[in-house]
C-alpha cells in the first residue's frame, strides 16, 4: 500500500502485542540498570564508610593509649604530691588513688547506663501502636 504522499510502500504497523512486549523488555532493562547503579553506588558508599571507620578506630586506639599515659603521669604526680620516692619504687599510693578514681567513674557510668536501659525497656513503638489503634477505630466506625 502506498503512502498518501506517494513516496512508496508504508511499513506495516506493529501490533499491540509487539508494543507491549517492547515496553516490557525496556522496563525490565531499565529496572536491571537501576539496580546495578544502586549496587555500585551503595558499594562506593560502604567502602568510604569502611575507610572512615578504620581511620576512626585508629584514632580511638591512639586516644586510648594517650589516656593510659595520662593516667601514669597522674599517678606519678600524686606520688610526688604525697612526697613519695619514685627512685625507691614508692609510687603505689599514686596508682592506688588513680585506680580509685577510675572505679568511682566506672560506678557512676554504670548507674547512669542502668537508668538509661530501664527507661528504654521494652522498646515499643508507641506512636505506631497509637496510630494503628486510631486507624482501626476509624475503620470500625466506617463499617457501621
For the chain, state the CA radius of gyration.
36
**pLDDT at residue 58 in the model:** 93
Q: Which three cell numbers stand for residue 18?
A: 509487539
pTM over 0.85: no
* Cα-based distances in Å from 102 to 59, 65, 67, 78, 81: 22, 16, 12, 14, 19
Other CB atoms within 10 Å distance of the CB of residue 118: 8
pLDDT digits (tens, 9 = 90+) for 92-143: 888 899 999 999 999 999 999 998 888 876 666 677 777 778 888 887 887 7
Three-state DSSP at 124 gives: coil
Amino acid at each position: 500500500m502506498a503512502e498518501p504522499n506517494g513516496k512508496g510502500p508504508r511499513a506495516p504497523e506493529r501490533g499491540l502485542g509487539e508494543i507491549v512486549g517492547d515496553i516490557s523488555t525496556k522496563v525490565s532493562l531499565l529496572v536491571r540498570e537501576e539496580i546495578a547503579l544502586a549496587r555500585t553506588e551503595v558499594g562506593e558508599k560502604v567502602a568510604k564508610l569502611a575507610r572512615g571507620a578504620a581511620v576512626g578506630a585508629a584514632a580511638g586506639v591512639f586516644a586510648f593509649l594517650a589516656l593510659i599515659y595520662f593516667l601514669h603521669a597522674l599517678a606519678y604526680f600524686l606520688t610526688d604530691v604525697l612526697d613519695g620516692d619514685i627512685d625507691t619504687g614508692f609510687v603505689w599510693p599514686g596508682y592506688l588513688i588513680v585506680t580509685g578514681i577510675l572505679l568511682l567513674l566506672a560506678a557512676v557510668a554504670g548507674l547512669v547506663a542502668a537508668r538509661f536501659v530501664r527507661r528504654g525497656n521494652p522498646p515499643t513503638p508507641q506512636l505506631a501502636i497509637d496510630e494503628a489503634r486510631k486507624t482501626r477505630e476509624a475503620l470500625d466506625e466506617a463499617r457501621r
